[in-house]
Amino acid sequence: MIGVSVKNGQLAVVEEFFELFKTPWEVYEPGGVYDVVIATRSDMPLPDADLVVACGPGRSSVDGPLGIAEGTRHRSGTVIHQGMQVPVYGELLTFLPAASEEACVPAIEGVAGVSVRRGGATVLRIGYDLFEEVRFLLTTGQPVEHAAVPTLDLHVDMLRSWIRQAGIGVVEIPPVPAGYPLSVCLTHDIDFVGIRDHKFDHSMFGFLLRATFGSVRNVLRGRLTLRKLFRTWRAAASLPLVYLGWIADFWEPFEWYLTVEKGLGATYFLIPFKGRPGDRHSGSAAARRATRYDVTTIQDAVHTLVETGCEVGVHGIDAWHDADKGRAERLRVTGVSGASDVGIRMHWLLRDGQTPRVLDDAGYLYDSTGGYNETIGYRHGTAQVFRPLDSRTMLELPMHIQDGALFFPDRLDLSETEAWRRTSAIVSQTQALGGVLTLLWHDRSHGPERYWGDFYIRLVQDLRSRGAWFATAGELTRWFAARRAIRFERTGTGKDAHVRLRCDSAPMQPPFTVRLRHASDATSAVVDAQWTGASPLFVAPRRRDSVSSVGSAVVLPQTAGGC
């Protein structure tokens, strides 16, 4: 059991952190029995625990008694975890290790964490406030230069490593269903449903310009093959026939995606009201935010999507700042799709600091706006579904990889080779740390003049080959909501102490994994058990006998170790 003692105002952050690191914890009580104590309070007396993690850039009450010497205070910094650079956005204190201390957390600026043995316990002094870092990531989010780093997930992994290195076993519920290496959510923002809706407007003229001069430029830059160049020219030349209805509309999005993703269950975000650019968005391009279609004009397509196992969400216009308008947008889409609840992704990814609360008030199941337009990666530092701090029930499904960020000339403007390298790194990180990889491919990205469809097919095939669980945004959100409903209850004392796992939701499929990690870093020291949550599960993580399972009881032995 982990006891947590924090400064005023941090409890909500702590609660959310331990929904991501789903392991037993409680608010620290003096005199309680804890394996680990985490403290951000600077005035806390040294508690009795096998591992004490004292966090913060200011002077701590443990520093003097343990002889810990301060080094330099920095406005921000970078710590190193298993060879990866992890940004610290708040203040960072470095230390001057003494002979009795061990440098356990290296940083570019020096030593960000030292370990001291005191009796049979380990005290780990960390020079930044873990929970203030979590607050920043959940609210402000990461700047573009650190987008590729899953910072929040790495903070979880660092804490897990410190616990195991101190000789303490860890019980947790990983953020991936049992039997799968990662989860994948395929999503599509539908801004256009056909070029027939666009006659002599900026969309039509923009297409013709890109299809002619722009395509030649892309051939010269190695971004487009000659074969696709001729296909693009043919599409541009056929535009009158498309308008007459004599040939198929090459901007029609649904048939191509339904074929490529057959059986995978994608999520389509649809515009609720056509002709509305929305409020509170200024600039020369503001009027272009309005669309020529809405969900009521494509009802047959919506019914086809639902019948094939796909999900329909809201591509919001004003929901990001106005709960009443957000409610109207939600009811407009559910009135066509027939869904009882629905999620949202804002058109153009518009949002501000109040958006989570506003969307929560408007009654959305989830939001999937948390991503970048300029790049790919982890805006909130995580691949997990989380609850924004200003939300009561609505969850956030982060968005990680979108086509426009990869290939648009005014964004990353990558070749397919470089795009594959970058996306593969994010896929591998998500598989290693756990969570959901959310992809966004737009309505006309597979056709002329973009032709980003081949890259998408390759990416989906790669994820299939890894054995990923593909699910709609709603299915994934509900799975994570059920994981959040798991409660750890400490029962018994002394040698009879164990933890009971209880799930307050209905039995879950695919099931959860209950993971028992020995203190050793060896792969063989990890024991997994599947659990649907249908009945309580009893775990005794500190006994020294061999790993065993009797009925619903799972035992993980204690293993000695050091920092």
H helices within 187-310, ranges in order? Answer: 202-209, 215-220, 226-237, 239-244, 254-260, 299-307
Task: Return the pLDDT at 547.
Answer: 39
CA pair distance 378, 398, nearest whole angstrom: 8
Helix (H, G, I), strand (E, B) or coil at 367: strand
Residue type at 485 in one-letter notation:
A
Question: What is the tens place of the pLDDT at every residue in 394-448?
Answer: 999 999 999 999 999 999 999 999 999 999 999 999 999 999 999 999 999 999 9
CA pair distance 256, 453, nearest whole angstrom: 9
Task: Return the pLDDT at 537.
Answer: 85
**Does residue 541 have a pLDDT over 70?**
no
Structural contact between residues 68 and 95, judged by C-beta atoms closer than 8 angstroms: yes
**Does residue 556 have a pLDDT over 60?**
no
Assign a CATH topology to domain 2-168. Answer: Rossmann fold (3.40.50)
Among residues 45, 81, 49, the alpha carbon closest in space to that of 60 is found at 45
Report CA-CA distances (Å) from 281 to 249, 287, 288.
31, 9, 11
Q: Which helix (H) or strand (E) holds 420?
A: helix 416-433
Residue extents of the structural domains in the chain: 2-168, 184-194+252-478, 195-250, 486-557
Please state which CATH number belongs to domain 184-194+252-478. 3.20.20.370
Task: Return the pLDDT at 520.
Answer: 58
**Does residue 555 have a pLDDT over 80?**
no
**Does residue 493 have a pLDDT over 70?**
no
Residue type at 364 in one-letter notation:
Y
Q: Read out DSSP for 134-164?
A: HHHHHHT---GGGTT--HHHHHHHHHHHHHH
531, β-bridge pairs: 512
Average pLDDT, the chain: 91
Percent residues over pLDDT 70 in the chain: 93
Domains 2-168 and 184-194+252-478 alike in fold: no
The reply to whether the predicted model has a pTM over 0.85 is yes
Report CA-CA distances (Å) from 306 to 135, 267, 300.
37, 10, 10
Task: Return the pLDDT at 75.
Answer: 96
Question: What is the tens place of the pLDDT at every residue in 86-119?
Answer: 999 999 999 987 755 687 899 999 999 999 988 7
Question: What is the tens place of the pLDDT at every residue in 367-403?
Answer: 999 999 999 999 999 999 999 999 999 999 999 999 9
The set of residues, in sequence order, having a beta carbon less than 8 Å from that of 345 and lying 6+ positions away, is: 187, 189, 269, 313, 314, 315, 316, 367, 368, 369, 399, 440
DSSP code, position 288: G
Task: Return the pLDDT at 119.
Answer: 78
Q: Read out DSSP for 2-43?
A: EEEE--TT-HHHHHHHHHHS-S-EEE--TT--EEEEEE--TT
Strands (E), 388-506: 395-396, 401-402, 436-440, 469-470, 486-491, 498-503
Task: Read off the pLDDT of each residue in 230-242 and give the average, rounded to a whole number.
Answer: 94
H helices within 294-400, ranges in order? Answer: 299-307, 323-337, 355-361
Q: Read out DSSP for 383-396?
A: SS-B--TT-SS-EE
Q: Which helix (H) or strand (E) holds 473?
A: helix 473-484
Among residues 175, 184, 173, 182, the alpha carbon closest in space to that of 528 is found at 173
Question: What is the tens place of the pLDDT at every residue in 301-354?
Answer: 999 999 999 999 999 999 999 999 999 999 999 999 999 999 999 999 999 999
Q: How confident is the model at residue 521 (pLDDT cuts 50, 70, 90)?
A: low
